[in-house]
Amino acid sequence: MSDVFSVELENIVKRFGNVVAVDHVNLKIRENEFFSLLGPSGCGKTTTLRIIAGLEEPDEGVVRIYGEDVTDVPTHKRNIGMVFQHLALFPHMNVFENIAFGLKMRKVQKEEIKKRVKEILEIVKLEGLEYRRVNQLSGGQQQRVALARALVIEPEVLLLDEPLGALDLKIRQHMMVELKNIQRKVKTTFIYVTHDQTEAMTMSDRIAIMKDGKIQQVGTPLEIYYRPSNTFVASFIGEAVNLIEGEVVENGLVDTSLGTIHCAGSLTKGRVAVMVRPEMVEIGDKLYNVDNLFRGTVQSIIFKGSYIEYRVDVEGNTFVIHKHGSAELGRLHHLGDIVEIGWKKNSSIIIPI
Amino acid sequence: MGFSDTLLKHIRRNVTVKVSLLLIPPLLFLAIWFYAPFFIVGLYSFDMINIQREIVFKPSLIHYLRVLSWTGAMKIFLRSLYFAGVTVILCLLIGYPVAYYISFKMKKYKDLFIVLFIIPFWVSFLLRTYAMMSILDERSFLNVLLTSLKLIDSPIRIMYTDTAVILVMVYDYLVMMVLPLYANLEKLDKTLLEAAYTLGASPVKTFLKITLPLSMPGIMAGFLLVFIPAVGEFVIPELVGGPNNYMVGNLIYEFFMGARHWWIGSALSMLFIVFILSLVITYVRKMGERGLAF
Amino acid sequence: MKGTNLFLKIFTILVFLFLYSPIIVMVVFSFNESKSIGVFTNFSLRWYEKVINNPEVWKALFNSFWVGAVVTIVSLILGLMMAMAVTRYNFSGKSILESLILIPVIIPEIAEALSLLIMYIFLNIPLGPVTVIIGHVAFCISYVTIVMRARMAGYDRSIEEAARTLGANEFQTFFKITLPTLYPAILAAGLLAFTLSFDDLIKTLFTTGPGFKTLPLVVWSSAARGGVSPELNSLSSFALSISFLFAVFRLRVERRLER
């Protein structure tokens, strides 16, 4: 990953009436990166994407593509490609014509067009379907046509607006792998907008989490998962998280209603939350070798396939614990059991509230 | 079980009976008061009714031949096609930009403006035609205004000319072009335009290659809704045109009410009806069932 | 881009002006004191006095209303029957039927009107209000059927089945369930039928009997005879206000129905 930035957003602000949809967003996206904008509906991620595309004009701020200030450049003059949420395939054209459209606009020669369309169809695995009408294709196939259409023009940046939303689960999972492969193959920056963290975590090199128009955190999937920068990110990412409020006593020690908790070192002071992921918490009749130890009652047991989810009540606080590899059913706890739960100090971190 | 119960049971069981009960009154009405008159006109056209109003079983094409061989009739027919054609084209050229502007460029008030556009058309066809008459007249306000502003030397005389007829026809029929166009443009997926922009198409290219082709159904519907009634127009040429601007409608009227030659009038009507029906059938063939969805 | 937008804006404004000016000028000059239709001298109601004091106008207005009412009722009944047959049942020949319904909408009115007149004369039927009403119903049925079909598209028949399970027979179901549910469709179709009948000229012109005039007919005979005149301006403005009020009423009703 080089330090050349394909897209830079400097202090972008966009208002719709009284609502600030994009609130002083700053981003530096590297070239050839698969970068996702992730967040709940209404967080401003789609608006941010559209600003990069030029479909919305920012009220303040600068947009740069490969160093060039494109804030005032209209969409059709920016060298971007975009895959829309509902695909926006031209209904009055067949597959070939849809894909060739961008090339025609760039005045590419007929022979060259034919060649490039053929190549891209191979990359997206749709060979032979050139002359079908787009409404005769399945959802997954239409998806690939939209992708091919945007890629064939060899844009500097490819923007994708929740493209996998309408697909069935299995096809979606398949497409996620496909998309990542294609991105590596064509060596283009992909900027991907979604509300689905599985998509973002699976495919991205880095993710920017947004809420209410502001960027909450930018990092790799690992960083975001294990080192969330605030409680929103901690709760939004991952299936579940344990958060306990408290006051920092000294570096790595937090005073909470459950007592003093030992965490990984941190410079944060004042009121904080202790975060520990469910799979990092051990559960058992008797635990040894943990830095933090609590006793509680099993409230619920849910079998989730590759792990069991326990909810344990400790003095009014509910802990979520994921126990993997419980093939031996004899080791299961039961409702109402008194158990011990705990974790090593480096498994929990301190995050500001 | 009484008679009425058995009858009801029979009716309930039998779909054909139900449908017939529902369809017979309206169809009978239409058969007698809409289709039968055309049948009688048909008889007249084939010379099967004589002056004593008796039906004679000796069909003859003589009246058709007389109509078809009369150059005057052909001239008037071509003139009707010409007037209707020019009207449709003008309605399209004027109506498309307006429909486009309201649909695409007006976010907040588009509903209001489309209603404002339709308001003049709530006034009946006749009254609108008359309103245009009072503008086109020599002594009209428009003429007074233009002469006093020294924009023209003497009042414009366009009453009883081709131009007057076409102008009033455009005025009267404009809405029939704008409404289907507007409906079509409203239904257009605007993200298609955004996709075109991202593919490098300028706004002009996007309009020509995406918007225009996709608004064809609206254009065709508008064409049909204007051209067909316009060809058979009677009121407008009668009020603002003279004998030199007669259209088919006026000619048919003259034969029936003026010359009272019902045979030729009937032949002319039948020919005209066949022409209209073939236009509609061609349109339906081309557009399929979707074309009639209004 | 910005230039095109401005052009489109100006163009649209000009078209609006084009549409409204003849009507506005006509109304303004109906209040003119002098006989001129070009120069406005003074505000005066003299032409309106002429119109209002003309019994022919009131008679014609009254005729237009009651003919419209009768036409509306008859075409609603016949049109509803046709619409129900077409939307509820599938039968052979349905597509031919649909064409038969559409033809009155397509055929040029002058041909339709003259043909009906010919038949009236051929059958020695005396002309008068009844012949006018019949003529109007003949094309209104189609419009009513088309409008009702469109609005009946989402109609769920299981409410009728529910009524039947609760003990209602066919007639009760129809009058207590079906009709009230179809009320918006019926209203929309009825308003359309009334407007078409009220404003109709050509059919009426040819199928009416001596002495029986509707409002459009009075306007027509004055316009065809004498051309533009201040009385006709006032008469037209008067007729216009009625059409306009009715159109506003129609819009209000339809808006209320949408809720």
Q: What is the CATH number of the domain that holds A128?
A: 3.40.50.300
Domain membership of residue A52 (yes or no) is yes
Kindly report the nearest CA distance between residue A33 and chain B, in angstroms.
Answer: 20
Here the CATH number for the domain that contains residue A298 is: 2.40.50.100
Closest residue to B269, CB basis, from C114, C141, C232:
C114
Closest CA in chain A for residue B197: A76
Domains of chain B as residue ranges with CATH: 74-292 (1.10.3720.10)
Instruction: Say whether B249 and C232 touch across the interface (CB within 8 A).
Output: no
Res B294: pLDDT:
39
The per-residue pLDDT for range B241-251, each reduced to its tens digit, is 888 889 999 99
The two tokens of residue A261 are: 């908790």
List chains touching B (3+ CB pairs under 8 A): A, C
Q: Choose the mutation target among B28, B32, B92, B122 for the interface with C, i.e. most C CBs under 10 Å.
A: B122
Q: Residue A236: inside a domain, yes or no?
A: no
A140 pLDDT band, cuts 50/70/90, is: confident
Query: CA of B199, closest CA in chain A: separation in Å?
Result: 5
pLDDT of residue A326: 60
Domains and CATH numbers, chain C: 56-227 (1.10.3720.10)
A115 lies in some domain: yes
Does the CB of C97 have a partner CB in chain B at under 8 Å? yes
* Antiparallel, parallel or unpaired: β A5-16 and A19-30: antiparallel
Query: How far from B85 is each of A151, B74, B231, B235, C122, CA to CA, in Å?
Result: 45, 16, 8, 18, 36
Mean pLDDT of B11-33: 84
Q: How confident is the model at residue C27 (pLDDT cuts 50, 70, 90)?
A: confident
Read off the tokens for A211. 């809420």
Domain boundary among A182, A206, A231: A231
Mean pLDDT score of chain C: 87
Is the pLDDT at B256 greater than 60? The verdict is yes
Residue C246 CA, chain-centre distance (Å), reads 10
Q: Are A281 and A343 in contact (CB under 8 A)?
A: yes
Tokens of C119: 């038949």
Interface of B with A (CB under 8 A): 189, 191-192, 194-203, 205-206, 209-210, 213-214
- Residues of chain B with Cβ-Cβ distance to A101 below 8 Å are 196, 199, 201, 209
Q: Residue B288: what pLDDT? A: 64
Which range (A112-116, A257-261, A292-296, B290-294) has the least confidence? B290-294
Collect contacts of B8-15 with beta carbons under 8 A, ≥24 apart.
B8/C170, B12/C170, B15/C89, B15/C91
Residue C88 or residue C128, greater confidence: C128
Is A143 in the same domain as A246? no
Q: Residue B191: closest CA among chain A residues belongs to which residue?
A: A88
Question: Quick one: A227 and A264 in the same domain?
Answer: no
Give me C113's structure tokens: 């009107």
Last residue of a domain, one of A182, A198, A231: A231
Q: Do B41 and C39 touch (CB under 8 A)?
A: no
Rg of chain C in Å (alpha carbons) = 23
Q: Do A84 and B205 touch (CB under 8 A)?
A: no
Beta carbon pairs, B and C, within 8 Å: 212
Q: What is the pLDDT of residues B148-175, one digit of tens each?
A: 887 777 777 888 888 999 999 999 999 9
The answer to whether residues A52 and A152 belong to one domain is: yes
Q: Tens digit of pLDDT for each residue in B176-203?
A: 999 999 999 999 999 999 999 999 999 9
Name which of B19, B130, B232 is nearest C232 (Cβ-Cβ): B130
Cβ–Cβ under 8 Å, residues A292 and A343: yes
> What share of chain C in percent tops pLDDT 90?
37
Report the pLDDT averaged over residues A302-307: 86
CB pair distance less than 8 Å for C111 and B252: yes
Residues in CB range of B158: below 8 A, 6 or more apart: B136, B164, B167
Could you say which of C5, C118, C145 has the minimum Cβ distance to residue B41? C118
Q: Would you call C91 an interface residue with chain B, using a CB distance cutoff of 8 Å?
A: yes
Distance separating alpha carbons of residues A345 and C186, to the nearest angstrom: 75
Identify the band that residue B293 occupies on the pLDDT scale cut at 50, 70 and 90.
very low
Confirm if C29 and B134 have CB atoms less than 8 A apart. Answer: yes
Q: Check CB contact of C16 with chain B, cutoff 8 Å.
A: yes
Tally the residues of chain C: 259
Residues A221, A130 share a domain: yes
Tens digit of pLDDT for each residue in A7-49? 999 999 999 989 999 999 999 999 999 999 999 998 999 999 9
Residue of B nearest to C140 (CA): B30
Among B40, B134, B252, the residue with its CB nearest the CB of C233 is B134
Nearest residue, CB atoms, B191 vs list A75, A81, A84: A84
**Chain B partners within 8 Å of A80 (Cβ):** 198
Which contacts (CB < 8 Å, 24+ apart) does range A218-221 have? Answer: A218/A27
DSSP per position, chain C? -HHHHHHHHHHHHHHHHHHHHHHHHHHHHHTBSSS-SSS---B--HHHHHHHT-HHHHHHHHHHHHHHHHHHHHHHHHHHHHHHHHHH---TTHHHHHHHHHHHHHS-HHHHHHHHHHHHHHTTPPPSHHHHHHHHHHHHHHHHHHHHHHHHTT--THHHHHHHHTT--HHHHIIIIIHHHTHHHHHHHHHHHHHHHHH--HHHHHHPPTT---HHHHHHHHHHHH-S-HHHHHHHHHHHHHHHHHHHHHHHHHHHHH-
Are residues A211 and A108 part of one domain? yes
Least confident of A270-284, B119-133, B150-164: B150-164
Domain boundary, last residue among A206, A231, A256: A231
Q: CA B159, B165, B167, B169: dihedral to nearest 10 degrees?
A: 140
CA distance B80 to chain C (A): 13
The pLDDT tens digits for B213-239 are 999 999 998 998 999 999 999 999 989
Contact between B270 and C104 (Cβ < 8 Å): no
User: How many domains does chain A contain in total?
Assistant: 2
Give residues 161 to 220 of C whose Cβ lies within 8 Å of B: 170, 198-199, 201-202, 216, 219-220
Mark whether A247 and A182 lie in a shared domain.
no
CB contacts of A81 in chain B (<8 Å) are 198-199
pLDDT one-digit tens code per residue, C144-193: 999 898 888 778 778 888 887 887 877 788 888 888 888 888 988 999 99
**Interacting residues of A215 by C-beta distance below 8 A, sequence separation 6+:** A25, A26, A27, A208, A209
- C106–B277 C-beta distance less than 8 A: yes
Residues in chain A: 353
In a domain? residue A156: yes
Q: Residue B144: its pLDDT value, please?
A: 80
- On chain A, the residues whose CB falls within 8 A of the CB of B214 are 91-92
- Is the CB of residue A201 less than 8 Å from the CB of residue A221? yes
Range of the domain at A340: 241-352
Contact state of C106 with B252 under an 8 Å Cβ cutoff: no
Do A296 and A346 fall within a single domain?
yes
Q: What is the pLDDT of residues C191-239, one digit of tens each?
A: 999 999 999 999 999 999 888 999 999 999 888 887 788 888 888 888 8
Same domain, residue pair A204 and A68: yes
Please enumerate in sequence order all residues whose Cβ is within 8 A of that of B177, keeping only pairs 6 or more positions apart, or say none: B88, B91, B92, B95, B222, B223, B225, B226
Distance (Å) from the alpha carbon of C43 to chain B's nearest alpha carbon: 16
Nearest CA in chain B to C131: B33
Interatomic CA distance for residues B172 and B162, integer angstroms = 15
- All residues of chain B having their beta carbon less than 8 Å from the beta carbon of residue A85 are 191
Cβ-defined contact of A92 to B191 (cutoff 8 Å): no
Same domain, A190 and A281: no
Shortest distance, CA C82 to any CA of chain B (angstroms): 6
Q: Of the ranges A114-118, B34-38, C43-47, which one carries the lowest mean pLDDT score?
A: C43-47
Contact check, Cβ <8 Å, A90/B192: yes
Distance in angstroms (rounded) separating the CA atoms of residues A122 and A186: 13
Does the pLDDT value for residue B4 go beyond 80?
Answer: no
C12 with B102: Cβ contact below 8 A: yes
d(CA A220, CA B87): 65
Crossing angle (nearest 10°) for helices C129-152 and B15-30: 140
Is A37 a member of any domain? yes
Answer for the pair C162, C203: CB distance below 8 angstroms, yes or no: no
- Whether residue A64 is found in the same domain as residue A157: yes
Q: Does residue A183 share a domain with residue A288?
A: no
Say whether residue C4 is in contact with chain B using an 8 A CB cutoff: yes
Contacts 24+ apart (CB under 8 A), C222-226: C223/B126, C223/B130, C223/B133, C223/B239, C224/B238, C224/B239
Residue B190 to chain A, least CA–CA distance (Å):
9
Q: What is the pLDDT of residue B39?
A: 92
Sheet holding A253-256, edge to edge: A259-262, A253-256, A242-250, A271-276, A348-352
Give mean pLDDT, residues A209-218.
95
Mark yes or no for CB contact A81/B196 under 8 Å.
Answer: no
Q: Is B199 in contact with A84 (Cβ distance < 8 A)?
A: no
pTM (two decimals): 0.82
CB contact under 8 A, A88 and B200: no
pLDDT attached to residue C150: 85
Using 50, 70 and 90 to split pLDDT, how confident is the model at B137? confident
Identify the contact set of chain A against chain B, taking CB-CB distances under 8 A: 53-55, 74-77, 80-82, 84-86, 88-92, 101-102, 105-106, 149-150, 153, 159
Residue B33 has its nearest CB partner, among C116, C201, C232, at C116
Chains with 3 or more CB pairs under 8 A to chain C: B
Q: What is the pLDDT of residue C183?
A: 86
Residue C123 has pLDDT above 70, yes or no: yes
Chain B nearest CA to C115, separation (Å): 5
Tell me the CB-side half-sphere exposure of residue B175, using CA atoms within 13 A.
Answer: 18
CA-wise closest residue to C157 among C136, C132, C137, C182: C182
The residue in chain C having the minimum alpha-carbon distance to the alpha carbon of residue B255 is C114
A23 and A119 co-located in one domain: yes
Phi/psi at A258 (nearest 5 deg)? -100, 5
pLDDT of the residue at B9: 73
Half-sphere exposure at residue A128, Cβ-oriented, CA atoms within 13 angstroms: 1
d(CA A290, CA A281): 10
